[in-house]
Every structure is written in structure tokens, then in C-alpha cells.
Amino acid sequence: MTENKANLLRVGGLLMLLLGSAMGVIYSKYRSRLLFVEIQKQERELDRYEVEWGQLQLELTTLAEENRVEQIAREKLKLVMPQRDKIIYLKP
């Protein structure tokens, strides 16, 4: 009888270890999926930042070019900005 009880305790212990191990695997998989979702979210945000960065660089280039054109117009061509009442706005 005691041998049967010892075997039963061993089997019970192994089952508990098996269940604990299975729960560990389930938790690890769950955590892994959460981290994967977070990584995807961060990558999308990075893509948005890269697009915004490109747009800002383009805007900076455009502004720098306009400033250069204005500077050349003033210095080389001796052009000046007309007075407000002399400016005519055209609609496209």
C-alpha cells in the first residue's frame, strides 16, 4: 500500500509540475504577443515620424530656396517689396 501511495504522490507531483510548466508556456506566449503588438505600434509611429521628418525637410528646403530667391531679387536686381496698397491679388 505504501508503495502505491508513493507512486500516486509522484504522479501527482509530476502532474503539478506539468500544469505549472504549461501555465508558464501560456503566460510566455501571451506576453510575447503583447510585446509583438507593442512593437508593431511603435513601428507605425516611427513610420509616421519619418514621413513628418521628410515633409519638414522638404518645407525647410522650400523656405530656404524662397529666401534665396528673395535675397537675389533684392541684391542683384535691386527689387523692393511694393507698398500694401499697390499689391494686387489674383484668384486662381
Confidence band, pLDDT 50/70/90 cuts, at residue 1: low
- Alpha carbon of 71 to those of 59, 87, 89: distances in Å? 18, 20, 22
Contact at 8 Å (CB) between 68 and 76? no
Say how many C-beta atoms besides its own lie within 10 A of residue 73's C-beta: 13
For 40-83, the pLDDT digits (tens) are 999 999 999 999 999 999 988 877 777 788 888 889 999 888 89
Q: What is the pLDDT of residue 53?
A: 96
- Grid cell digits, residue 27: 503566460
User: What's the CA dihedral at 44, 49, 53, 54 to 10 degrees?
Assistant: 20
